[in-house]
Amino acid sequence: MDAPLQGDALERKADRWLTFAGLMLILGGLLNFFDGLWALRRDDTAVDALFFENNLDAWGWFFLILGIALIAAGLAVFARAHWAVVFGIAVGLLGATLNFFWIFAFPIATAVVVTLNILVVYALTMYGLPESQVRRAR
């Protein structure tokens, strides 16, 4: 049976999980940012008319802004900003839920994305805020 982590070992574990969560938020933000740029450049094309009902420009701006927000949240997680932890949890839960719509089309990719989202939520809920802030919130 493993002994519970204390002191420095617990802080190192928390730092590793928070680094993972921050990096995943930044990676997701970068992917959304580049998806947004792609959508803005593909406006008024056959792809736009077929799949996005001539509204690819709006989706491009949506993903561009979402990408910037995710990158900012990922960087703020490293500073343990309260808003970044809450935003990261909300985005992780939303991403895990919405990705289930793709389960029949892309089962392996969906399983990977949902797992990564759940791990980000785990990291932020378990280690996102110092114990002193958690006690004050009760």
pLDDT tens, residue by residue, 17-49: 999 999 999 999 898 888 888 878 876 655 555
Q: Is the pTM for the entire model greater than 0.95?
A: no
The full set of domain ranges for the chain reads 19-129
pLDDT tens digits for range 87-115: 999 999 998 888 887 788 778 988 998 89
Residue 95 pLDDT: 87
- pLDDT confidence tier of residue 85, bands split at 50, 70 and 90: very high
Average pLDDT, the chain: 82
3-class SS letters over 19-88: HHHHHHHHHHHHHHHHHHHHHHHCCCCHHHHHHCCCCHHHHHHHHHHHHHHHHHHHHHHHCCCHHHHHHH
Identify the band that residue 58 occupies on the pLDDT scale cut at 50, 70 and 90: confident
The per-residue pLDDT for 44 is 60
